[in-house]
Amino acid sequence: MSAFRLLLLPFSWLYALALRVRHLLYDRGTLTAKTSEVPAIVIGNIALGGTGKTPHVELVLRTLLNRPLDGPQGPVATLSRGYGRSGTAFTEVDRMDDPRAVGDEPLMLKRKFSGIRVFVGADRVAAMAAIGKRVPDVRAVVLDDALQHRALKAGLNIVLTTWQRPWHKDHLLPAGNLRDIPYRAKQAEAVIVTKCPELPTAEEQHQWRSRLGLRDEQALFFSGLEYELPRSLIDSTMTVPSGPGTAALLFTGIADPAPLETHVRTLFRTVQHVAFGDHHAFTASDQAKLAHLFSSFATGEKTLITTEKDAARLGTALIAGPLEDLPIAVIGIRAVILNEPHAFEALIRTHVATHPTNR
């Protein structure tokens, strides 16, 4: 830990005290939590961004959508705060919405998964009640980043931590990146170590369980990232040129772009990365900067590359503005369970299938 971070430790201790008091009030029932009346699956973490929540929300959605459950077949929904949007009110997301009104991740999910219902709302308890009324036959609701919302008691909590910086090697804010105390993760039904470079051995998996301090009954999974082929946003039938002699100007506004940058460098001979802050709203000035840089950074066949989430924030920039005539493509990112993928699928599907509303 740096000297500056050490100086911040006393503030982390004060923050820890406040968190422990809050959790104690919920644990003792002084503050009450409402149990969700519909199957609720929370994908959360106890650190700040960069653990891969969005790819794992997609993983759960694919698990529920690819092979229908026996019995009633209602729609699947997602709920998040809609980080970066203007306002906090409950609303349903439409494919044509402005990302500034609903958030980039919800809009991306709505456009990517046909048929799912996507909602945003800061008050998770009120939002879940509203979903139950608006979609009475909803099969399940996948909640993005709701672990800290103790007022809502979800049936299945899945907590993420990264291979590179797990919570046992981190500290609470502001000395570290943890926004909640690690013991909260021990209350979850499952933990996923994300962004693994490879499947750890059985002995290493046992060591991870010990280091994270998990309960015996908690499921522990390890996941990695897979990347789809670059897909043109201008013409879906077009093959994006890659390999020797090609170049890519990568621009991102995500918390941890390093794995994607590493992957892009395997596809193109020349790569330059322009990194913006997480959930960055691309202004006309940003677009002009990218267009100018693209015109001069390399010769030969070249492409602008970004993520699906970042593309959702570009809005009308693809049809009007400095980027409209440039070749621009996205690379989709998928989370995959490396150990016991069938057990992970069973965990999700059993929770939904055995919920009283789906029996």
Domain 3-224+337-358: which CATH number of 3.30.160, 1.10.8, 1.20.120, 3.40.50 = 3.40.50
Mean pLDDT, residues 21-47: 94
Which of 111-115, 229-233, 286-290 comes out lowest in average pLDDT? Answer: 111-115
- Helix axis angle, 53-66 relative to 104-112, nearest 10°? 30
Longest dimension (CA), the chain: 66
DSSP secondary-structure letter at 178? B
Backbone angles phi, psi at 128, to 5 degrees: -65, -40
Classify 233 in phi/psi space as left (phi over 0), alpha (psi -120 to 50) or beta.
alpha
Residue ranges covered by each domain of the chain: 3-224+337-358, 231-331
- Give pLDDT, residue 359: 63
**Positions of E strands within the chain:** 34-35, 40-45, 76-80, 91-92, 117-120, 140-144, 152-153, 156-162, 190-194, 219-227, 231-232, 243-252, 268-275, 301-306, 328-330, 333-337
Please name which of 144, 321, 332 lies closest in space to residue 231, comparing C-alpha atoms. 332
- pLDDT band at residue 25, thresholds of 50, 70 and 90? very high
CA distance 54 to 59: 9
Mean pLDDT, residues 87-107: 93
Query: What share of the chain in percent tops pLDDT 70?
Result: 98
The residue length of the chain stands at: 359
Q: Counting runs of H as helices and runs of E as strands, what totals does the chain give?
A: 11, 16
Domain 231-331 in the same topology as domain 3-224+337-358: yes
- Give pLDDT, residue 298: 92
Helix (H) or strand (E) holding 322: none
pLDDT score of 308 more than 80: yes
- Give pLDDT, residue 303: 97
DSSP of 44-60, one letter per residue?
EESBSS-S-HHHHHHHH
Return the SS3 of 15: helix
pTM check: above 0.85: yes
- Give pLDDT, residue 1: 65
pLDDT in tens, 134-143: 999 999 999 9
Please state which CATH class domain 231-331 belongs to.
alpha beta
pLDDT score of 356 more than 80: no
Return the SS3 of 188: coil
Helix (H) or strand (E) holding 39: none
Contact 277, 257 (CB under 8 A): no
pLDDT in tens, 270-302: 999 999 999 898 999 999 999 999 999 998 899
Contact 198, 222 (CB under 8 A): no
- Give pLDDT, residue 146: 85
Contact 286, 276 (CB under 8 A): yes
pLDDT score of 55 more than 90: yes
- Give pLDDT, residue 30: 96
- Give pLDDT, residue 186: 86
CA distance 222 to 30: 36
- pLDDT band at residue 50, thresholds of 50, 70 and 90? confident
- Give pLDDT, residue 325: 87
Chain Cα centroid distance, residue 100: 18
